[in-house]
Amino acid sequence: MRRLTGLALSSVCVLALLSGCGGADSEVVPGGHSGSVAPDSATEAPVESSTPADSGDPTEAPASEESAPPADEGGEDSAPERGSGGGSGEVDDAGYRDVGLGAATEMTTFTGAEAASSEPGRIAAEYYAALTRAANDENWGSGELKDLSTGNMQDSNSGVLGVSGKGTFIGPVPFVATEAEQLGGTANVYGCTTTGGVTRDDSGEVFGSVRAVGRFLNLVSEDGELKVDAVVEMPDADCAGVSLEVEEW
* Stretches in the chain below the pLDDT threshold 50: 1-55, 58-59, 61-68, 71-103
- Tens digit of each residue's pLDDT (9 = 90 or more) over 135-160: 999 999 999 999 999 999 999 999 99
Q: Do 126 and 182 reside in the same domain of the chain? A: yes
pTM passes above 0.75: no
Tally of domains in the chain: 2
In-domain check, residue 97: no
pLDDT at 156: 95
Closest CA to 180 of 232, 77, 84, 110: 110
Q: Do 113 and 217 reside in the same domain of the chain? A: yes
DSSP lists the bridge partners of residue 137 as none
Amino acid (1-letter code) at residue 171: G
Q: What domain range is 10 assigned to? A: 2-66
pLDDT at 1: 39
| Cα–Cα distance for residue pair 166/135, rounded to 1 Å | 11
pLDDT at 153: 97
pLDDT at 207: 92
